[in-house]
Structure 1
Amino acid sequence: MVRRSKPIKRSDEDLSKSEKTRKDILCAAARLFRYEGYYATTMRDIAQKSGVEAGSIYYHFQSKDEILSEVLDIGVRELYEQVKRIVRSAEENEKDFRKTFAQLVDTHLTYLLTDSDFTSANIRNYPMLSGEARAPHRELRAAYAGVWSDFLNDARRAGQLRSDISVSAMRQFILSAMNWTVEWYDVKKYPVQMLSERMCKLILDGMCTSGRINTGILKSGAGVSIQTPEPVGKAAHTRAEILRAAARVLRDSGYKATTLRLIAAEANMKAGSVYYHFSSKEAIVDNVLNAGLSDLLSGVSAAVEGFDEPCNHHARIATAIWTHMDFLFKASEFTSANIRSYGMLPNHLRKRHWAIRHEYGRLWDRILRDAQDDDAIRSDIKIVPLRQVMLGALNWTVEWFDPDKAGTAGYLSLSEFSEMLIKLLLEGICERENVADGDRAGFRLSQQTP
């Protein structure tokens, strides 16, 4: 039974003065948590944003944790109720699977990107919270996932979805692709509906033109690793260990919660000793972020260089995906730290790393455009949105996939997991034999927009 909390009333006319103040506080907190992060936001910030005296906020909430808990609950509950209504209506009216799927995707993205600071605050902050802070919200999140699972299971029984990949894996893939958009999509430039249409196209039918891809050839060239020179001298070894420790702390706690004291403790050294090697936390984070994307860029570049022209573009794309996942989970501690923390960094810190992020994006654009030029992927998909959605689906896996559970019943190894993602991205979630050319044509997207 999903725990129910008191909903926020929409009309201020229905609220008492105390209720209106409470609502204002929650709305202010949701916006701050969305853009600044929970750890970077203080009670004073929330009070100032909501227009109440700093001390008065405690009349309505005992702590920032209590505010966070309500923000997280509202963020999922409103979305859950709306998605549940859409699925129920589709069942009652026997609505077409693809139309319902498109409506669900559009609803999730609209809440996430435009309608609700609460939903965005939930998605951006939940992964960085402690197990204790997450615990009260697991039931509701599981209920939301359950609505998607029931919908997808019904579609599979009707022969709409492929049968070689579990529904739970497909659901995670779909939610991952959508949730990562909070880190990159600019609603001021392009409407959410445009993103929804493009995402549905990729998720349902994949990027390839037709038929099943021969996954037996996809492992060719995968698993390329970059050999980092061993540091020479005691000082260089200590510096390297500090950076590795900082990457682990940054990955697990986020930028704001990462302190020099925590880094020193992780590196098993005194806090004061860190200053001998780095002038500040920001200097350490700069090094970690740069190493994370430098490793990834070098690794994927080296992997795809092994394909001579004319090349098997499907194998080349698969190899790039495989290598991206390898660096995300195994080859580099710095890559996962970069991916998990970048969205919550101060803008001035992010700007220093735009160049290398754009270089990595251009590498993928070239890989995908070469494939499209040779008709290996569909011509009705725009390359840049394809790359953004694809990398989003891959990057969000750091929030839910655990390679250490490989061997346990129901859990995949990193290799198996990567192969599954390759199939989903290249082929889509639908049973391809049931996708007619007319259906594909009906989902064509405009070539006039970016």
Structure 2
Amino acid sequence: MTDPDSSTAKSNRTRERLLDAAAQVLAEKGFAGTRLSDIAERANVQAPAIYYYYPSREDLIEEVMFVGAAAMRAHLDEVLAGLPSDATPVERISAAVEAHLRHELEISDYAKSIIRNGNQLPEQVSKRALAEITHYNDIWRTLVTELDTAGQLRSGLEPSVARMIVLGALNWAAEWWKPERGSLEDVIRTAQSMVLHSLRP
């Protein structure tokens, strides 16, 4: 007799493999180039089996985008929550820069798939992910506002524009950085310096 708990655990592992594989293929090939056969091969399952877990290619991609966006926001929340209660606005932004780059370049293929495909997706595929991305942007809005309130935002900067330019630059690292181009630590240190020098007086 089959153990229901064992079957559920196996099903959950397969679902996770499919999501991980889909994130990798999306990051490499983009929305238009992502095929279920590629995902199935990467996940080591038969392509028709995907329909047991997801009704369509779009449903699978929608889940990848949502899970990835939620994880990216949760990672930033966790990093900021782990800072000392008296951390300065500068220290919080510096930590946020590192959290963004580590998650994007080291921790998660999901982050790359979001960054590279966010503007290519139909609304029904991106809706839940966009809600999480909005929450993520709100965290950054708070960080820049804290810097401004502390009198440490450079005069003449429009905070919302500055925030979006910073995030755009950090996101772009997913397009050009590879380990052979230099250490991730160098990228993080340089990005922290450039972001903070551009925002402060």
Superposition TM-score, scaled by structure 2 size:
0.89
1:249-304: per-residue Cα shift (whole Å, max 9, x none)?
A: 11111111111111111112211111111111111111110111111101111111
Distance 2:81 2:19 in 1: 29
The match for 1:377 among 138, 149, 153 is 153
1:58-95: per-residue Cα shift (whole Å, max 9, x none)?
A: xxxxxxxxxxxxxxxxxxxxxxxxxxxxxxxxxxxxxx
**2:11 equivalent to 1:235:** yes
Task: Tell me what 2:188 maps to.
Answer: 418
Q: CA deviation at 1:309?
A: 4.7
Distance 1:311 1:273 in 2: 49
Q: How many residues align?
A: 192
RMSD between aligned residues: 1.6
Q: Is the 8 A contact 1:372 1:379 kept in 2?
A: no
The match for 1:314 among 83, 90, 93 is 90
Q: CA deviation at 1:380?
A: 2.7
Q: CA deviation at 1:379?
A: 4.1
1:123-146: per-residue Cα shift (whole Å, max 9, x none)?
A: xxxxxxxxxxxxxxxxxxxxxxxx
The match for 2:197 among 427, 432, 436 is 427
Distance 1:237 1:352 in 2: 23
**2:66 equivalent to 1:290:** yes
- Give the secondary structure class of the aligned counterpart of 1:269: coil
Task: Tell me what 1:129 maps to.
Answer: none
- Give the secondary structure class of the aligned counterpart of 1:344: coil
- Give the secondary structure class of the aligned counterpart of 1:254: helix
Distance 2:83 2:178 in 1: 30
Q: 1:246 to 1:304 in 2, by over 3 A?
A: same
**2:118 equivalent to 1:348:** no
Distance 1:275 1:262 in 2: 14
Superposition TM-score, scaled by structure 1 size:
0.41
Q: Is the 8 A contact 2:26 2:117 kept in 1?
A: yes
Question: Superposed, which structure 2 residues align to 1:24-423 within 5 Å?
Answer: 233-403=9-179, 405=180, 411-423=181-193
Q: CA deviation at 1:348?
A: 3.3
Distance 2:112 2:130 in 1: 17
Distance 1:311 1:238 in 2: 41
Q: Is the 8 A contact 1:291 1:335 kept in 2?
A: no
In our comparison, the structure showing a higher alpha carbon Rg is: 1
Q: Which runs of 4+ in 1 moved over 4 A?
A: none
Q: CA deviation at 1:308?
A: 4.3
Q: Is the 8 A contact 1:260 1:281 kept in 2?
A: yes
1:114-173: per-residue Cα shift (whole Å, max 9, x none)?
A: xxxxxxxxxxxxxxxxxxxxxxxxxxxxxxxxxxxxxxxxxxxxxxxxxxxxxxxxxxxx
Q: Is the 8 A contact 1:321 1:422 kept in 2?
A: yes
- Give the secondary structure class of the aligned counterpart of 2:62: helix
Task: Tell me what 1:23 maps to.
Answer: none
Distance 1:347 1:257 in 2: 18
Distance 1:272 1:360 in 2: 35
**Contiguous gaps of at least 5 residues in structure 2:** 1-7
Name the structure where helix makes up a greater proportion of residues.
2
Report the AA paired with residue 40 of structure 2.
A
Distance 1:247 1:262 in 2: 11
1:34-68: per-residue Cα shift (whole Å, max 9, x none)?
A: xxxxxxxxxxxxxxxxxxxxxxxxxxxxxxxxxxx
Task: Tell me what 1:54 maps to.
Answer: none
Distance 1:373 1:310 in 2: 15
1:159-208: per-residue Cα shift (whole Å, max 9, x none)?
A: xxxxxxxxxxxxxxxxxxxxxxxxxxxxxxxxxxxxxxxxxxxxxxxxxx
Report the AA paired with residue 418 of structure 1.
I
Distance 2:145 2:184 in 1: 27
Q: Is the 8 A contact 1:248 1:337 kept in 2?
A: yes
Identical aligned residues as a percent: 28
Distance 2:86 2:154 in 1: 18
